[in-house]
Amino acid sequence: MQVRIDDDFDLKKIQISGQCFRVKEISSGVFMFITGDNVVFIEEEKNPLFDNGKTIEVSCSENEWKTIWKPYFDLSRNYESICKKEYGKHEFTDRAIDFGRGLRILKQDKWEMLISFIISQRKSIPAISSAVNSLSVKFGTKIEQDRTVDEIFAFPTPDQMAKATLDDLKECGLGYRAPYVYDAIKRVTSGDIDLEKIGLLNDDELFEELMKVQGVGKKVSNCVCLFAYSRMGRAPVDVWISRAIDEEYGGVNPFTEYGENAGIIQQYIFYYEKNHPKMFAD
């Protein structure tokens, strides 16, 4: 099926943006995304017939696109106008926006994001990906599809992970984070934390609620708020953002100025810091 996109949208940038850990480019220009027990294959058309926006080819039905993937890619929000609105406040931010045009803040599965970002601490992005994949293969349900030779597994549900021992988790490369994930499993399967219900809370309350889980601090909580609950006002500060604040903003956190779009701006800055070519060594 073909879909018209009337806004900034770049699959390659999204893939390497560090917010999703299971996206694969299965062949040149064809990307596989997974959420819940859904898989989709997407290709950006090379010769768009229109001068604005672009057309993409998606493997799913129209209904699945509307209910799953359109929200996943946050396509009801216009990023072009957000960029325009926030442009001009800081020269460095403007540069990051220009460089990262096409990025989007994905609306991903809440449980998967909680576990993925607990795992993310002190790990490289490739290492996070492989750990998340290991959990999926070990505990998740196989998803039927015929586009890849590799078997694809859904990220395991809390109930599927409930049978995991600490050693099982360590076998997935979690290291010292295994007890943290173990705690998350217990809190969610016991009903102590209801990931759907806390979605009704305001940003600060949601942020605090997530931090009840062992191993979830400010940064991880903000990532879950942003990448699973679409709380665009949350701006996670990691080592890259912290470095940018020091070196580009004179040590003053710029995100308060971006208000409800702080998380989106954060993503452009993170992407720029990690991916822009450096002309000179420091």
Find the part of the chain contacting DNA (CB under 7 A) among 4-12, 39-47, 68-76, 232-240.
Answer: 232-240
Considering only residues 125-184, where is the footprint of DNA by CB under 7 A?
125-128, 130, 170, 173, 175-176
- Among 34, 193, 195, 216, indicate the residue that binds DNA (CB under 7 A): 216
Residue 261 makes contact with DNA by CB under 7 A: no
- Distance between CA 241 and CA 195 in Å, rounded? 27
Nearer to DNA (CB atom), residue 156 or residue 173: 173
- Is 121 among the residues that bind DNA (CB under 7 A)? yes
| Positions marked catalytic | 219
**Cα→Cα distances 113→39, 76, 193, 239, 255, Å:** 17, 21, 15, 19, 22
- For 54, half-sphere exposure in the C-beta direction (CA atoms, 13 angstrom radius) is 16
Stretch that binds DNA, among 22-30, 37-45, 118-126, 142-150 (CB under 7 A): 118-126
Binds DNA by CB under 7 A, chosen from 28, 52, 76, 124: 124
69 vs 270 by CB, closer to DNA: 270
Rounded to a whole number of angstroms, the minimum distance from the CB of residue 16 to DNA is 10
Q: How far apart are the first and last CA of the chain?
A: 48
**Residues within the interface to DNA (CB under 7 A):** 17-19, 120-128, 130, 170, 173, 175-176, 211, 214-221, 223, 236-241, 266-267, 270
